[in-house]
Structure 1
């Protein structure tokens, strides 16, 4: 099924208009307010076509079902609302339609809210046939929402929400008080478009409730919506209240899950999740009790762990509202899972989350894959889950007490595999009191069978055939901000805020001083950060953070970061794990990092810490460190997490030139690849004119770990004072070489499988200045004292 960013034309009129004798046309907010005040009950007001900038629109009145107050665009999509603008809908039976909030820059916590203030709310109101796209916040710390729903019986439908890049949930249903409980809101036929990874909580597309009010009943219906490329965080939808329904929604290439985070008694049925083999795409994550999850179709989801196709979490004993309540009395039936990663039961088990699911049914589901991949990861006991009628069509090994293996006959319906009629094993299963009466196409189950479909079905799920979005085409284009030069002063959060506002291609210049980081920073696009050439520019974590951070910068896919003349200091009461990290795991888009005249020091966290870390499934195009120092840390550069994948490696090229690694407990560089033949091309490491002082000083230590990397070239470098080490460098393969290097009290080079070793000296380097690694006049590192050229650092 093809889903265009354009959205979908709807077959029926979005809104049934009740037009009085004469519509009132207004051209500004004063005229709008006067027109609203003149209405006696219902009526229709037309907002004039054109650009409305920096406006606070109010849509209010006391209409009735038969005669509502209608505020609509003169022509749908031709009323452009931009700048610092927002809309408040309140009163009774008020309908707003046809607006486009476009490319704004807001100071408000909302774009659209269903209330006037904390006392006056909306009931039986509607926001429809509109678009909100690329509305940013002026303050990088402002968590705003595009739509806040208050009151009762309100509807948000046939809209497009695309391009939320700022912090805060796209659409929120609030339950603060009895006037919002059992609200019966309806969120339907909306298109939720691209939302990039926020890198923190608060990036949901929909949230219903909060942990504080999660035991309240909301009775909100979320149906017939499309979520495409909604990557804001792990929770695409976050259910945090009771008695909500999620049905007939379509999730496409969205890197997260529909998460039943808090609250009880949700119904999740007839939804379709299409991952298209995109990394980290997930399905349904289950916490709390009383939920029914049935007749959902999950295809090509490649998330694992908490992003699996079906995830049942472990709970916390006597859990507070904001933690993890035990899964109880949950019914998971008749779902079909095709070519996905493994399900996860008892997920998240740790010293806190110790309660496995209980009184839970997992029945009559179909799981199939063509690669023999694992079906289930069980992190805790499964005694509290009742398994029956679950059919597996795969070469994977399964527990016969949980699953029955068979070969299913499939037929293709518009490229979607659906079980054919001649599958008697699928009709041999037994229904339960909560088994669905209808299949995913909304056809009655005359003959009960496992999975989401009736056998031999010729129809696609309703989620794949319904139309979502406004009845006009907004033709959304990502706004292109112009690069700029930004100068900032030291302080708390000043660097993070500047990066948040910087367009791709911008240059940020830092004055000397300390830049305190209180939140992790994501790097997108191309960015240059220049420290001061005179005086130290220091980046460190703020002391006494309520929630310690583990890294300063994360480079997202396609990012390119240049850093110059900056010191990164990991010293902290909760020692930093990393200075810089790659994109999150299984994000294959290339990124690059270029560091010049930088210092990385005091990254001493021994719980897997390193100065740089590349996550599994990521790849840098180039990592370049020149004229830099790595000091007093646990590990240097760690690119070793793809060791279980044949031939995978985390960077195309790593360059370390004219740099120092000093007092590093383990390796300086760990850059490896698992391959049957190192001569198969893949990976390149270039080390030139470097000094390695007291690195990996253990008997089995390795200063440079390069197993499986196709091309390794080490030259003109010094390895010293790792006196316990036997083989600091072990090269294998005809494209590996080490030449013109000096080793002192640091073991001996080992080469094999055609690797080359040339002009290696085992002598005292004779420093004049050991800290700066300046050689004395008689040092064998100097060209005049040897016949192989300058070894060690090259002075500028």
Structure 2
């Protein structure tokens, strides 16, 4: 095609159509926004606009017009994947039979409420339109708390297919089907063959990957078909798919190592069939959660799922009597049949039962299901009367709860992995469970062929190893030149760093000989982690003796505000001392809205610290937001620390997240937490932490451990610790009446 900037190229096409305007389609090749906007209002059925290859910055595209079934109005790329929409760009469609393909959104964020929106305003929607082979890659608002959608479907009879969406990091649903107008209800949208790539843990409510409807319109039918999509480590929050409307079909999708569940949160009469869940033993991988009326859940396969409570492998919830529209409606008239659960740790029935959620499931059946746990642990937990859920012709390989045994036959079932990749009974006589020829979607059959499906994170020590001479300038230069995943090995000697080191890549810094590379520094912090950064320190000696005489110094901190990408931090085999030049000198400090997938402190020695070791408590507004998912503190020695070993805080009443998780074992604490500025008076302070395991620590002449339980049925175990000259741990229930639920076992208080 010959390129003419901004001008018309006439290409007459013979079309089989009865509409005169379809008989001569026009194709436009444009290279600038002005040219596009000039011709946009002139497009008629059969016309195609081709965007020239290159980067289009701050391009707000409106595609509007009346195409026809045989001659849509099309917008595409000169070469698929070579047209990049960056900066503050977006796409809005309105009219009929519009077709968009081949575009890539990255290096920016939408200036409006959605990146792709099937409407141009509240009155003009898209119908019978299609968006296919479009990529949205990390196109997230830099303000993590600012909410937007990546895709918002309005109108009716639209299709969103074969797209690649990965890395949404700010608040908001990745793809939302909107029912907030009559023109968008009973919509019959099709969402198929999309690759939903890794979505990082959000650390708050608002991280769903797909939502159909909202509670306000949940008694409205949507008739949306969600079919043959691949959900790859979509970990935003407890609801991966959140169905909040009626008469939808979710069929043939694969959930791979995805934390959370396919949730029928609101709405009735949904069909959930032939979906496959592979957890592979990853924490909090879940399956299906059932709420409301009239659903059919059949022929779904679940394997290796570890989730519990609302994120279990299979969950049937209690409802609220006469529930308001935005709470939990009673499970009524639900059929659960011919599903297979293999190595699913938890099947929870009547989940959420409490004084409010007291309406048990009724008029429902669970039949012909196969439940096999190869560790011989039975998975069922009941929280209320389950007589309204009738069991029949189910098979399990373990003894189950007595009240369920009438409808679940115990039988030794030998499994063999079939050609479809599923573990199926060797014997054809076993009729329970999924059909043997259940099709398992191939990841490569989703998304686009021309854009790589990359791992979610760069692993530590996955790149090139560089040796660094004992010179501060050499170290700074090596950090600057390093690529993500690289390892810097420090020769023995002294490194005095005169400026703050910005970490915006995955980087490992380790001593060639343990404890023989010493780092001092002259600014308020040594390392500051920014977006894209993760840091591992190994075998170093770090001292604060040359830091400035200011209060509130640190060794490592995140950017003070505004991070949108999750990070990781690891310190192992190192010695940290003399963080005492002034008060409130902490080892690690998080900035606001910064979120760590993992913070690990293992096999280190800390002495003379006037602040805290880990300060992970900046989210104090009680909105359910927190600063770290996993905190691991193992085999360290802490001596003369005036603050706490860790302050970890998750406030509010939201139940949409799994964390934080705190693990502390085999540590020695001496004179910890007794500083006058340590306001909570603790050696460890955990508020709202969902999983806490504190074991085999020796704590001498220190402040007590303080645990405060809030929502979410937190699991706390404090076992086999020695408290010498230290009070016993304090555990308080802040939202539930009665004694605390923590397990305190085999501890010694001297």
Structure 1 unaligned blocks of 5 or more: 1-15, 427-448, 487-497, 539-550, 608-612, 675-684, 699-704, 710-726, 730-796
Residues of 2 paired with 1:112 and 1:623: CA distance?
54
| Mapped pair 1:385 → 2:389 | yes
Structure 2 vs 1, CA of residues 620 and 62 (structure 1 numbering), >3 Å: closer, same or farther? Answer: farther
Distance apart, 1:636 and its partner CA: 3.9
Residues of 1 paired with 2:106 and 2:648: CA distance?
47
Taking structure 2 as the reference length, the TM-score comes to 0.68
| Mapped pair 1:450 → 2:432 | yes
Match for 2:205 among 182, 187, 201?
201
- Assess if the C-alpha contact under 8 Å between 1:558 and 1:591 holds in 2: no
Structure 2 vs 1, CA of residues 665 and 110 (structure 1 numbering), >3 Å: closer, same or farther? Answer: closer
Structure 2 vs 1, CA of residues 342 and 22 (structure 1 numbering), >3 Å: closer, same or farther? Answer: same
What corresponds to 1:65 in structure 2? 69
Helix, strand or coil for the counterpart of 2:319? Answer: coil
Structure 2 vs 1, CA of residues 129 and 534 (structure 1 numbering), >3 Å: closer, same or farther? Answer: same
Distance apart, 1:66 and its partner CA: 1.0
- Assess if the C-alpha contact under 8 Å between 2:549 and 2:581 holds in 1: no
Helix, strand or coil for the counterpart of 2:350? Answer: strand
- Assess if the C-alpha contact under 8 Å between 1:195 and 1:231 holds in 2: yes
Distance apart, 1:460 and its partner CA: 4.7
- Assess if the C-alpha contact under 8 Å between 1:525 and 1:558 holds in 2: yes
Structure 2 vs 1, CA of residues 49 and 311 (structure 1 numbering), >3 Å: closer, same or farther? Answer: same
Helix, strand or coil for the counterpart of 2:405? Answer: coil
Residues of 2 paired with 1:69 and 1:614: CA distance?
47
Residues of 2 paired with 1:68 and 1:510: CA distance?
69
| Mapped pair 1:289 → 2:293 | yes
| Mapped pair 1:326 → 2:367 | no
| Mapped pair 1:154 → 2:158 | yes
Match for 1:243 among 223, 242, 247?
247
Distance apart, 1:323 and its partner CA: 1.1
What corresponds to 1:419 in structure 2? 425
Q: Which structure has greater strand proportion? A: 2
Helix, strand or coil for the counterpart of 2:216? Answer: coil
Residues of 2 paired with 1:199 and 1:588: CA distance?
17
Helix, strand or coil for the counterpart of 1:34? Answer: helix
- Assess if the C-alpha contact under 8 Å between 1:526 and 1:559 holds in 2: yes
Structure 2 vs 1, CA of residues 47 and 346 (structure 1 numbering), >3 Å: closer, same or farther? Answer: same
Residues of 1 paired with 2:248 and 2:664: CA distance?
41
- Assess if the C-alpha contact under 8 Å between 2:417 and 2:423 holds in 1: yes
Residues of 1 paired with 2:61 and 2:668: CA distance?
50
| Mapped pair 1:260 → 2:292 | no
Structure 2 vs 1, CA of residues 94 and 622 (structure 1 numbering), >3 Å: closer, same or farther? Answer: farther
- Assess if the C-alpha contact under 8 Å between 2:52 and 2:77 holds in 1: yes
CA RMSD of aligned residues (A): 5.2
What corresponds to 2:368 in structure 1? 364
Helix, strand or coil for the counterpart of 1:201? Answer: coil
Q: Within 5 Å, give how 1:768-783 maps onto structure 2.
A: none
Distance apart, 1:387 and its partner CA: 1.0
What corresponds to 2:407 in structure 1? 402
- Assess if the C-alpha contact under 8 Å between 1:359 and 1:385 holds in 2: yes
Residues of 2 paired with 1:360 and 1:156: CA distance?
34
- Assess if the C-alpha contact under 8 Å between 1:372 and 1:396 holds in 2: no
| Structure of higher CA gyration radius | 1
What corresponds to 1:695 in structure 2? 727
What corresponds to 2:180 in structure 1? 176
| Mapped pair 1:583 → 2:561 | no
Helix, strand or coil for the counterpart of 1:116? Answer: strand
Residues of 2 paired with 1:136 and 1:84: CA distance?
10
Residues of 2 paired with 1:633 and 1:385: CA distance?
47
- Assess if the C-alpha contact under 8 Å between 2:58 and 2:87 holds in 1: yes
Distance apart, 1:375 and its partner CA: 2.6
Residue deviations 1:615-651 (CA, integer Å, cap 9, x gap): 7785689899997546575864389x99x9xxx9768
Helix, strand or coil for the counterpart of 2:40? Answer: helix
Out of 132-141 and 334-343, give the one that drifted further.
132-141
The number of aligned residues is: 604
- Assess if the C-alpha contact under 8 Å between 2:144 and 2:562 holds in 1: no
- Assess if the C-alpha contact under 8 Å between 2:672 and 2:702 holds in 1: no
Distance apart, 1:60 and its partner CA: 1.9
- Assess if the C-alpha contact under 8 Å between 1:603 and 1:634 holds in 2: no
Residue deviations 1:369-406 (CA, integer Å, cap 9, x gap): 11111231111101111111111123666642131111
- Assess if the C-alpha contact under 8 Å between 1:20 and 1:44 holds in 2: no
What corresponds to 2:108 in structure 1? 104
Distance apart, 1:40 and its partner CA: 2.9
What corresponds to 1:777 in structure 2? none
- Assess if the C-alpha contact under 8 Å between 2:195 and 2:443 holds in 1: no
Residue deviations 1:466-490 (CA, integer Å, cap 9, x gap): 821123234557799999769xxxx
Helix, strand or coil for the counterpart of 2:94? Answer: strand
Residues of 2 paired with 1:44 and 1:293: CA distance?
42
Residue deviations 1:422-475 (CA, integer Å, cap 9, x gap): 42xx4xxxxxxxxxxxxxxxxxxxxxx32211xxx4x45243588211232345
Residues of 2 paired with 1:624 and 1:523: CA distance?
30
Residues of 2 paired with 1:577 and 1:171: CA distance?
23
Helix, strand or coil for the counterpart of 2:36? Answer: helix
Structure 2 vs 1, CA of residues 511 and 225 (structure 1 numbering), >3 Å: closer, same or farther? Answer: farther
Match for 1:524 among 567, 576, 586?
567
Distance apart, 1:290 and its partner CA: 0.9
- Assess if the C-alpha contact under 8 Å between 2:567 and 2:598 holds in 1: yes
